[in-house]
Structure 1
């Protein structure tokens, strides 16, 4: 005897037709997105109830008020640190049975942070991790009222946001101490762009540590993180420098310096010691291999995810978390061997 087929489960387009809205509007209602008119929301919820529409993910979200999804707002997706921090978030999220939705900001768009948050909110997120390393982006985020917990990857304590980062001061101190212990008393700092929070943190820490060691006072050089800038700087010096070491704010800048000084006939480290920051995978293969400090971007991302999930579940979380940094000694720094002036 034949049996009647099971009734077809209603789908989101049927809910949209019943409510007289688009299926995207239904999705936004299910994800509790902001900026939906109350009467529209009521019509959609009524249609959902009438049709008994309950996809599994939406049912869980409606029941628990959690979506098992974390949003990531990111800029500078081309930079090594932000990219690998995002990867750390994604790997940790998979282990925690969460999904990740990311939005990348456009540096030239002043409305980017607000639009990015709206995009993430429309997709239904339990919390947001922000990897926005420039102070201008962070200032824009302070003007936004968030409905979910937010964790920002930044080095300094922040009055508005919970923060996670590697300990930039610790990393800078390790490098300055290493050079000073080798005997250097005149060290140049080639900084990153000072709109970047990590560059500013390293610059401040450098000045403080240099003062503690009573090193020669010398203006910093502000770069743009790139090997090209550092290379051109080294080539463009009008005379052989009288400082004996350079603390470059990142490994790419250190690479450009090594290249430029090599073409100038200034040997690293025999005549000039150079150290970097980050420990990129290729730094062991620079000529000479680069002395630097290692910050674990995957661990930073994993910790940011752990904290934002805890906050989304209503748990107490630390206002500031700093992960340790490790000095990696290689062959680009040595004791000074006579003046270069």
Structure 2
């Protein structure tokens, strides 16, 4: 550390702040320190650091439903940011979000002597359980679609649904139908609310959404079969990209074109979305940023810094070939 400080032209304390992820370091100074670390191939001794700081250098992660795209990407962001800051991660997954399962998972992580915990369970039922806990270590949650707070990283899914709905209305569609996400997920509720809010603002009719039981392509395919049966439907917002793919598959098999007969918008901007046929118009969410923010905020809490408000991550609309104006006779 002395060598790094000398090469970067800063104090050892500044080097310590950089390697420990503190936010009170200017970008120019941080860049000089990181360049010196790279040049000198400096690696922190985790065992020595743990003894010096009385920390385990291990972060706990509690996750629900890993196969879901968003959860997987957030977990990747958590692991990478933890590693960058010299921390290992311990993962415990749960198959249900009841109080007993959550408590047992947290006890397992606490038994591993973690310094803090990131909870990736963006479910409506999980929030009240987690908010009522009094743990010996700091905890940061992922509450997708919830208002910004000082204890959770959030994404503005409602705004994303409004952007997608407005895009379809601006193309000339009279209204937009919605294939909703499964019940119980914060994202499902937020995306449905955003869709309804934008239709209401435009004074357009809101038809009952198509319901699903999970986030899979198969759920979208089943909804697509029903969409095909109603020729009045010209625009659809799917609650995620996988379901959008299923909708497009069902319509294609029945001889309906996308976007000629039905425009389709997805949600998440998974890496495959650009390679659908046609490319999928979708709402981009930066799940990797969720993981990075969660770890950065957790490390601040571990370091004794006050809990600050975490701004909600903003979505962006990515327009591709799956949306167009409706046919003239529509």
Question: So what's the TM-score if we normalise by structure 2?
Answer: 0.80
Shift of 1:291: 0.2
Report the Cα offset of residue 57 of structure 1. 6.5
Counterpart CA distance in 2 for 1:148 and 1:339 is: 62
Taking the aligned partners of 1:238 and 1:167, their CA distance within structure 2 comes to 31
Partner of residue 14, structure 2 = none
2:127 alignment partner in structure 1: 138
Instruction: Quote the offset at 1:58 in angstroms.
Output: 7.4
CA-to-aligned-CA distance 1:42-70 (integer Å, 9 cap, x gap): xxxxxxxxxxxxxx977755653422221
Given the alignment, which residue of 223, 231, 237 partners 1:233? 223
Q: Is 2:152 aligned against 1:166? A: no
- 1-structure distance, mates of 2:293, 2:62: 16
User: After alignment, is 281-290 or 311-320 more displaced?
Assistant: 311-320
Q: Does 1:91 align with 2:94?
A: no
Q: Within 5 Å, give how 1:76-155 maps onto structure 2.
A: 76-107=65-96, 111-154=100-143, 155=145
Match of residue 31 from structure 1: none
The CA deviation at 1:261 is 0.9
Aligned position for 2:238 = 248
Equivalent residue number for residue 290 of structure 2:
300
> 1:73 and 2:65 equivalent?
no
Is this contact kept in 1: 2:160–2:194, CA < 8 A? no
Task: State how many pairs are aligned.
Answer: 284
Paired residues of 2:148 and 2:312 also in contact (CA < 8 A): no
Whether the 8 Å contact between 1:244 and 1:339 is mirrored in structure 2 is: no
Tell me which stretches of 4 or more aligned residues in structure 1 moved more than 4 Å: 56-63
1:158 Cα deviation after fit: 7.4
Q: Deviations over 1:66-102 (max 9, x none)?
A: 2222111101011111011011011111111111111
Shift of 1:312: 1.2
- SS, match of residue 154 in structure 2: strand
Is residue 2:320 matched to residue 1:330? yes
Q: Is the 8 A contact 1:157 1:163 kept in 2?
A: no
3-state DSSP class of the match of 2:104?
A: helix
- Residue 181 of structure 1 is matched in structure 2 by 170
With over 3 angstroms needed to count, the CA separation of the structure-2 counterparts of 1:315 and 1:108, relative to structure 1, is: closer
- Can you give the 5+ residue segments of structure 2 that lack an aligned partner in the other structure? 1-44
8 Å Cα contact 1:163/1:321 also seen in 2: no
Q: Give the structure with higher Rg (CA).
A: 1
Q: What's the counterpart of residue 259 of structure 2?
A: 269
Q: Distance in 2 between matches of 1:299 and 1:239?
A: 40
Contact 1:235–1:263 (CA under 8 A) maintained in structure 2: no
User: Out of 192, 195, 204, which is 1:206 matched to?
Assistant: 195
TM-score by length of 1: 0.78
Displacement after TM superposition at 1:276 (Å): 0.2
How far apart are the structure 1 equivalents of 2:101 and 2:68? 18
Structure 1: segments with no counterpart, 5+ residues: 1-55
Distance 2:179 2:329 in 1: 20
Per the TM alignment, residue 110 of structure 1 is displaced from its structure 2 partner at its CA by 5.6
Structure 1 residue 286 displacement after superposition: 0.9
Paired residues of 1:157 and 1:320 also in contact (CA < 8 A): no
**Contact map agreement 1:105 1:113 (CA 8 A) in 2:** yes
